[in-house]
C-alpha cells in the first residue's frame, strides 16, 4: 500500500504545530537530539503510521542498505524477545481487539527500546518517517479530541512550571485530519513499530 498524498500535508501541520508550541515553551521544553526518553515503551500504531514506517524502511534500504539491515535486525530481535507476550497475532503483526488483549497491552513491553532507535547515538534511524505519537512527544498535548481528556507532556520537560504555564504551551494535534486520512485507507487494525519495520501490520496484502 502506498502512503496517501495527504500524509505530507498532515506532517507539515504537525511540524508547524510543534514549532509553535516549542516557541511558547522556551527553556521548559528540553527535547534535544540524542535524548531518547520517548523512544522506550510499545505503543499502538494505526494504518497510516505503519504504512509511513514501511515506506521509510524501503527508502532506507535504497539509500543505505547496511543501516536498513541493522534496523531490521533490531526489529526481529525485538519481536523474538517480546513476541511471546504480544497481545495479538505474530503472523500478521496486528494487535488484538478484545478487551482482554487491550488490557494486556497496557503492560506490554513498557521499558523496551524502540527498534528504530540507534542505541549508540540516541537518534532515530527513521526520523523522517516516525509515527505521529513520536512527533507530538514533549509539549503538552491531548491525545484525544475531548477537551476534558487532560494534558500530558514529557516528564523531563516543564519541570517547575505551573498547570497554567503548561496549558499556555499546549500543542494542537489535528486528530480529525489524521482520522480522515486513516478512514480513506484500506488499512484496518493497529500494530507496533517492530512489526511495521519487518513489513507486517495494517495495510499489508494477505
Number of domains in the chain: 1
Query: Under DSSP, is residue 115 helix (H, G, I), strand (E, B) or coil?
Result: coil
Give the Cα separation of 90 and 75 in Å (integer): 13
Q: What are phi and psi of 177, to 5 degrees?
A: -65, -45
In this prediction, residue 145 has a pLDDT band, given cuts at 50, 70 and 90, of low
Give the Cα separation of 156 and 70 in Å (integer): 29
Query: Under DSSP, is residue 49 helix (H, G, I), strand (E, B) or coil?
Result: helix
In this prediction, residue 147 has a pLDDT band, given cuts at 50, 70 and 90, of low
Give the Cα separation of 71 and 1 in Å (integer): 21
Q: Span 112-134, mean pLDDT? A: 96
- Is 100 within a domain? yes
Does the pLDDT value for residue 124 go beyond 80? yes
pLDDT of the residue at 148: 61
Does the pLDDT value for residue 25 go beyond 80? yes
- Is 206 within a domain? no
- Is 36 within a domain? yes
Which range (29-43, 70-84, 131-145) has the least confidence?
Answer: 131-145
Rg of the chain over Cα atoms, rounded to whole angstroms, equals 17
pLDDT of the residue at 149: 66
- Is 187 within a domain? yes
Instruction: Give the model confidence (pLDDT) of 155-180 as tens digits.
Output: 999 999 999 999 999 999 999 999 99
- Is 1 within a domain? no
Q: How far is CA 107 from CA 42, 137, 155, in A?
A: 9, 20, 19
Of 162, 173, 170, the residue nearest 23 (C-alpha): 170
pLDDT of the residue at 146: 58
- Is 18 within a domain? yes
Of 132, 131, 155, 151, the residue nearest 30 (C-alpha): 155
Percent of the chain with pLDDT over 90: 89
- Is 114 within a domain? yes
Does the pLDDT value for residue 137 go beyond 80? yes
Range of the domain at 102: 6-197
Does the pLDDT value for residue 97 go beyond 90? yes
- Is 204 within a domain? no
Amino acid at each position: 500500500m502506498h502512503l496517501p498524498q495527504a500524509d505530507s500535508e498532515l506532517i507539515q501541520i504537525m511540524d508547524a504545530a510543534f514549532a509553535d508550541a516549542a516557541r511558547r515553551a522556551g527553556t521548559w521544553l528540553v527535547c534535544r537530539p540524542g535524548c531518547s526518553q520517548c523512544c522506550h515503551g510499545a505503543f499502538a500504531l494505526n494504518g497510516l503510521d505503519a504504512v509511513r514506517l514501511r515506506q521509510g524502511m524501503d527508502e532506507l534500504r535504497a539509500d543505505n542498505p547496511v543501516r536498513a539491515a541493522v534496523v531490521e535486525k533490531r526489529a526481529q530481535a525485538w519481536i523474538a524477545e517480546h513476541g511471546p507476550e504480544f497481545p495479538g497475532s505474530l503472523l500478521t503483526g496486528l494487535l488484538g481487539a478484545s478487551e482482554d488483549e487491550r488490557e494486556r497491552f497496557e503492560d506490554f513491553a513498557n521499558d523496551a527500546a524502540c527498534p528504530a532507535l540507534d542505541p549508540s547515538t540516541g537518534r532515530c534511524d527513521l526520523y523522517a518517517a516516525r509515527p505521529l505519537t513520536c512527533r507530538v512527544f514533549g509539549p503538552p498535548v491531548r491525545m484525544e479530541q475531548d477537551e476534558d481528556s487532560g494534558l500530558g507532556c514529557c516528564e523531563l520537560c516543564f519541570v517547575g512550571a505551573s498547570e497554567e504555564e503548561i496549558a499556555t504551551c499546549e500543542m494542537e494535534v489535528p486528530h480529525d485530519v489524521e482520522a480522515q486520512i486513516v478512514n480513506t485507507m484500506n488499512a484496518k487494525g493497529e500494530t507496533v513499530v517492530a512489526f511495521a519495520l519487518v513489513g507486517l501490520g495494517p495495510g499489508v496484502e494477505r
